[in-house]
């Protein structure tokens, strides 16, 4: 099992959700976050006091997937989250040790 | 004769004998009192609190509210007497008496309005002036020190200057003109704010650390209330429901609009984008600068004063923030202080008929009046500056002025009030 964390631009969230839904992904967790990579921040000006704001709003999507679904999920996210411009984000894949469904106690692939 | 008089008064109730109650005047000043209180609560309170960081939003609201309450009681107990009482042999400097306003009876009059109404109207001016000073020391002053300072400053700075200008003191003897508080309110508040900003020192991290306003929508809501309330401030200062009040309202409004556009233009030119903070600050500059002149100038004067104030106060703000790097956090001095000084001087110019002013004396001399205005400006700056400095040093010695670093970082709302402004 793998845990996928994808940091994407906020306005792409609906597209990514739809794309994942199409390939059978049932659930996900999203977090509102801030970050930057190569994308530049913006400047704000208040009565002559200038501030450079580096951190840009991002959405982090976390999805647990079975190994056999991994490539499909990566392709779905990559296609739907892309705008072609700097700041589209990154996908991080890590191994998932264990998954438990709280209500029923199911574990492993049954719980995803 | 008596029957004829009775007939006239019955048919034309507006015709009233001198010092008899004029209902229209009274109604207007009652209304103006409400409008000016509205300027502080919540106008100024919202304007200021939107400009500070979220962790300090409540501290600003608390300071404005508490000052309103404190000043109200003090005004009744004795400060009204200091400002407007008869000081006898020292009346040139200060008034005396009327403790607990015991001398104000139900029937007591002040011109054509009840004295209790005049007392209330003037109270709202006494409230907003120390509340304005809050902007100079926002986000770093101890609440207890704010209360001590506001109370003592009211007695030692506001009351004397008010007495000099409006209470029969030496400035009014000289012919000093201040219709609604250019010196009494704006210069006083501006000077006190910048002295406080210097004595307390800059906020931690100023000017490198970003300290952006946390909620500009509150600020604009507050600014809008200030514009509306200012009609009470300036037109109410006519102390009558008449042509003078109407003209004062008009020039006030025109100056507000002109100041807004002028600041917006400066910003657009200098920074390529007009901002909402800029346009409302320009509005405040226009309003503050027209205040001393509002009963003396015509619409052209209002327009000119508005445009000039927008530009001058814009550059003054840049100068204090970027060149002098003084942390007058909410720019009280460059807007109210500089605006007040500018307006108090410009009265002399725009009072003249050649500039559309309302003067009727053919022998009026701009230069001569300018001299008188300058004396008032310098006297106010000197007295306010020195006393503010001494008061702050005194309070620092006994109570301590500034919060410690940890409290400042955590934010005054939690550190001083055990509260959070937002629970999002």
Establish if B331 belongs to a structural domain: yes
Domain of B211, CATH number, reads 1.10.3430.10
pLDDT of residue B17: 44
CB contact A27 to B (< 8 Å): no
pLDDT tens per residue across span A38-92: 888 888 888 878 888 888 999 999 999 999 999 999 999 999 999 999 999 999 9
Establish if B33 belongs to a structural domain: yes
Establish if B248 belongs to a structural domain: yes
Determine whether the interchain pair B277/A49 forms a contact, defined as Cβ–Cβ distance below 8 Å: no
- Give the minimum alpha-carbon distance from A42 to chain B in angstroms, rounded to a whole number: 13
> Residue B278: its chain A contacts at CB < 8 A?
47
Count: domains in chain A: 1
Domain of A90, CATH number, reads 3.30.70.120
pLDDT of residue A54: 86
Determine whether the interchain pair B212/A45 forms a contact, defined as Cβ–Cβ distance below 8 Å: no
Residues of B with CB under 8 A from a CB of A: 207, 210-213, 271, 273, 275, 277-278, 281, 317-318, 321-322, 331
Establish if B344 belongs to a structural domain: yes
The residue range of the domain holding B382 is 22-403
Facing residue for B210 by CB, picked from A47, A48, A51: A51
Give chain B's length: 424
Determine whether the interchain pair B277/A44 forms a contact, defined as Cβ–Cβ distance below 8 Å: no
Determine whether the interchain pair B277/A46 forms a contact, defined as Cβ–Cβ distance below 8 Å: yes
Q: What is the 3-state secondary structure (H, E, C) of chain B?
A: CHHHHHHHHHHCCCCCCCCCCCHHHHHHHHHHHHHHHHHHHHHHHHHHHHHCCHHHHHHHHHHHHHHHHHHHHHHHHHHHHHHHCCCHHHCCCCCCCCHHHCCCCCCCEECCEEHHHHHHHHHHHHHHHHHHHHHHHCCCECHHHHHHHHHHHHHHHHHHHHHHHHCCCHHHHHCCCCCCCHHHHHHHHHHHHHHHHHHHCCCCCCCCCCCCCCCHHHHHHHHHHHHHHHHHHHHHHHCCCCHHHHHHHHHHHHHHHHHHHHHHHHHHHHHCCCCHHHHHHHHHHHHHHHHHHCCCCCHHHHHHHHHHHHHHHHHHHHHHHHHCCCCCCCCHHHHHHHHHHHHHHHHHHHCCHHHCCCCCCCCCCHHHHHHHHHHHHHHHHHHHHHHHHHHHHHHHHHCCCECCHHHHHHCHHHHHHCCCCCCC
pLDDT of residue B288: 98
Q: Is A103 helix (H, G, I), strand (E, B) or coil?
A: coil
pLDDT tens, per residue, chain B with 424 residues: 566 656 655 555 444 444 799 999 999 999 999 999 999 999 999 999 999 999 999 999 999 999 999 999 999 999 999 999 999 999 999 999 999 999 999 999 999 999 999 999 999 999 999 999 999 999 999 999 999 999 999 999 999 999 999 999 999 999 999 999 999 999 999 999 999 999 999 999 998 888 999 999 999 999 999 999 999 999 999 999 999 999 999 999 999 999 999 999 999 999 999 999 999 999 999 999 999 999 999 999 999 999 999 999 999 999 998 899 999 999 999 999 999 999 999 999 999 999 999 999 999 999 999 999 999 999 999 999 999 999 999 999 999 999 999 999 999 999 999 999 999 8
CB contact A48 to B (< 8 Å): yes
Facing residue for B321 by CB, picked from A49, A51, A52: A49
Count: domains in chain B: 1
pTM of the model: 0.91
Establish if B178 belongs to a structural domain: yes
- Give the minimum alpha-carbon distance from A43 to chain B in angstroms, rounded to a whole number: 11
Determine whether the interchain pair A46/B318 forms a contact, defined as Cβ–Cβ distance below 8 Å: no
pLDDT of residue B10: 58
Alpha-carbon Rg of chain A, whole angstroms? Answer: 17
> Residue A53: its chain B contacts at CB < 8 A?
210
The residue range of the domain holding A24 is 2-111
Establish if B7 belongs to a structural domain: no
């Amino acid at each position: 099992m793998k845990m996928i964390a994808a940091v994407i631009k906020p306005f792409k969230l609906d597209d990514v959700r739809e794309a994942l839904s199409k390939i059978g992904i049932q659930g996900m967790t999203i977090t509102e976050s801030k970050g930057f990579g190569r994308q530049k921040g913006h400047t704000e000006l208040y009565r002559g006091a200038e501030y450079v704001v580096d951190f840009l709003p991002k959405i982090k999507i976390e999805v647990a997937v079975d190994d056999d679904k991994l490539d499909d999920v990566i392709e779905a996210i990559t296609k739907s989250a892309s705008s072609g411009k700097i700041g589209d984000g990154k996908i991080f894949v890590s191994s998932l040790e264990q998954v438990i469904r709280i209500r029923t106690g199911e574990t492993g692939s049954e719980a995803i | 004769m008596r029957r004829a008089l009775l007939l006239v008064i019955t048919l034309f109730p507006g015709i009233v004998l001198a010092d008899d109650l004029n209902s229209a005047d009274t109604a207007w000043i009652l209304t103006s009192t409400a409008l000016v209180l509205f300027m502080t609560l919540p106008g100024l309170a919202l304007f200021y609190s939107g400009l500070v960081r979220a962790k300090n939003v409540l501290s600003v609201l608390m300071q404005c509210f508490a000052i309103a309450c404190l000043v109200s009681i003090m005004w009744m107990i004795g400060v009204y007497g200091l400002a407007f009482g008869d000081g006898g042999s020292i009346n040139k400097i200060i008034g005396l008496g009327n403790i607990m306003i015991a001398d104000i009876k139900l029937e007591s009059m002040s011109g054509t309005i009840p004295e209790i109404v005049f007392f209330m109207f003037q109270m709202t001016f006494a409230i907003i002036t120390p509340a304005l000073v809050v902007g100079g020391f926002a986000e770093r002053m101890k609440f207890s020190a704010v209360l001590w300072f506001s109370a003592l400053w009211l007695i030692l700075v506001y009351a004397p200057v008010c007495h000099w200008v409006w209470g029969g003191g030496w400035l009014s003897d000289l012919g000093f003109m201040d219709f609604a508080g250019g010196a009494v309110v704006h210069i006083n508040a501006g000077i006190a704010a910048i002295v406080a900003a210097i004595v307390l020192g800059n906020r931690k991290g100023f000017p490198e650390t970003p300290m952006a306003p946390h909620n500009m929508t509150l600020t604009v809501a507050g600014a809008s209330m200030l514009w509306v309330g200012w009609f009470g401030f300036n037109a109410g200062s006519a102390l009558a429901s008449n042509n003078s009040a109407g003209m004062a309202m008009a020039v006030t409004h025109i100056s507000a609009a002109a100041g807004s556009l002028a600041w917006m233009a400066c910003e657009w030119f200098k920074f390529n984008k007009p901002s909402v903070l800029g346009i409302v600050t320009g509005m405040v500059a226009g309003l503050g600068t027209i205040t001393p002149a509002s009963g003396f100038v015509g619409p052209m004067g209002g327009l000119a004063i508005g445009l000039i104030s927008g530009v001058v106060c814009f550059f003054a703000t840049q100068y204090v923030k970027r060149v002098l790097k003084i942390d007058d956090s909410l720019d009280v001095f460059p807007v109210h202080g500089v605006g007040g000084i500018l307006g108090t001087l410009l009265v002399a110019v725009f009072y003249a008929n050649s500039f559309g002013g309302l003067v009727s004396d053919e022998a009026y001399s701009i230069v001569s009046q300018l001299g008188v205005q300058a004396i008032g400006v310098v006297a106010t700056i000197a007295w306010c500056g020195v006393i503010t400095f001494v008061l702050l040093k005194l309070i620092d010695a006994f109570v301590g002025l500034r919060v410690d670093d940890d409290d400042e970082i955590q934010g005054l709302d939690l550190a001083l009030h055990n509260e959070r402004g937002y629970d999002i």
